[in-house]
């Protein structure tokens, strides 16, 4: 069962396994978006004890490089598991993404604790896969 709630302008889908954060249909995240995400993650992880969080990347074409490092820090320090819905191809080509995310059986990209050895650019997931993806 999926329930929804809000934190500022962020929509949060609550499932049995994880929380899915939606920042909306913005194609470009800036420093303010990253600050909102950081504040939301702090609340979810530190105050609510969430241990599995997914972030909706469907519309995102550009993100600040600090985004990946922020997720890695939370994972390393708190043990929080992070996943991303399949992002746009240009995000999938970013170095951090290629090194630290792996496609899992649920169709999400999981954040790894150690970088992958290969820097092969992953095949972008088509949007038709997204419509059949259950959240």
Q: Which residues contact 114 (CB under 8 A, 6 or more apart)?
A: none
Average pLDDT of span 76-83: 94
Q: Domain with 64 in it: what CATH number? A: 3.30.750.24
Percent of the chain's residues with pLDDT above 70: 84
Q: Which two tokens stand for residue 46?
A: 């530190």
Helix (H, G, I), strand (E, B) or coil at 75: helix
Q: Which two tokens stand for residue 51?
A: 């241990």
Q: How many domains does the chain have?
A: 1
pTM of the predicted model as reported, rounded to 2 decimal places: 0.79
Instruction: Look at residues 118, 41, 116 and name the one whose alpha carbon lies nearest to residue 81.
Output: 41
d(CA 23, CA 132) in angstroms, rounded, equals 21
Q: Tell me the per-residue pLDDT of 42-74, one tens digit each, with 9 for 90 and over.
A: 999 999 999 999 999 999 998 887 898 899 999
Q: What domain range includes position 35? A: 3-131
């Amino acid at each position: 069962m999926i329930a929804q709630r809000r934190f500022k302008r962020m929509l949060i889908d609550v499932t049995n396994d994880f929380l899915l954060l939606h920042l909306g249909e913005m194609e470009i995240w800036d420093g303010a978006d990253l600050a909102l995400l950081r504040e939301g993650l702090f609340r979810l992880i530190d105050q609510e004890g969430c241990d599995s969080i997914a972030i909706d990347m469907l519309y995102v074409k550009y993100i600040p490089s600090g985004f990946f490092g922020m997720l890695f820090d939370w994972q390393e320090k708190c043990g929080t598991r992070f996943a991303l819905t399949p992002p746009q191809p240009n995000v999938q080509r970013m170095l951090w993404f290629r090194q630290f995310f792996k496609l899992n059986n649920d169709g999400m990209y999981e954040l790894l604790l150690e970088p992958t050895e290969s820097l092969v650019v992953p095949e972008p997931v088509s949007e038709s896969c997204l419509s059949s993806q259950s959240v």
